[in-house]
């Protein structure tokens, strides 16, 4: 097996930390010029914030760090296919490239459901790469939901 790229490794670690905190295990990382500038895990319950998906938190942290509301020149790495909310945010933020791990037939909005980046109402489309770290990301999600049954 090939080793995972560092950003996906960091996203998977953030996903595991989310699981340890009782949240659905999803993690995300924003990279600029080869450096990780934001890492976040999914945290809607602990933050009392329905918008606190990993991608949203990483995007918000990166924008705050850069002092601007657009993340041109930045890539987002996330362990799970983004939902409609997060795909919309990725577009608004002008993310260059999106790398995600597991696909999400139930809630994904990139290759499922709205397929948002293909809509005429989507005004910025990142380049999309999927499947990196997919095995580990999916295993973590399965373990989380199995524990809760």
Q: How far is the CB of 148 from a copy of itself (least distance, A)?
A: 16
Instruction: Tell me if 97 contacts a copy of itself by CB under 8 A.
Output: no
Taking CB under 8 A as the criterion, the residue among 122, 128, 130, 138 binding a copy of itself is 122
The four Cα atoms 138, 141, 142, 143 give a dihedral, to 10 degrees, of 120
- The active-site residue, picked from 55, 81, 111, 127, is 55
Taking CB under 8 A as the criterion, the residue among 9, 17, 96, 113 binding a copy of itself is 113
89 CB-near residues (< 8 Å, 6+ apart): 55, 56, 59
Taking CB under 8 A as the criterion, the residue among 70, 97, 139, 142 binding a copy of itself is 70
> Is-catalytic flag, 23?
no
Contact between 53 and 85 under an 8 Å Cβ cutoff? The reply is yes
Which residues participate in catalysis according to the annotation?
55
């Amino acid at each position: 097996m090939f080793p995972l790229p560092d950003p996906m490794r960091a996203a998977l670690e953030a996903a595991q930390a989310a699981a340890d905190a009782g949240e659905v295990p999803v993690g995300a990382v924003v990279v600029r010029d080869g450096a990780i500038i934001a890492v976040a895990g999914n945290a809607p319950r602990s933050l009392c914030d329905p918008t606190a998906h990993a991608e949203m938190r990483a995007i918000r942290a990166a924008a705050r760090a850069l002092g601007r509301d657009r993340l041109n020149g930045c890539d987002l790495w996330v362990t799970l296919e983004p939902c409609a909310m997060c795909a919309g945010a990725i577009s608004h933020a002008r993310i260059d490239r999106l790398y995600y791990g597991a696909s999400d037939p139930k809630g994904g909005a990139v290759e499922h459901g709205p397929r948002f980046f293909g809509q005429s109402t989507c005004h910025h489309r990142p380049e999309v790469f999927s499947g990196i770290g997919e095995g580990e990301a999916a295993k973590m999600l399965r373990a989380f939901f199995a524990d809760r049954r």
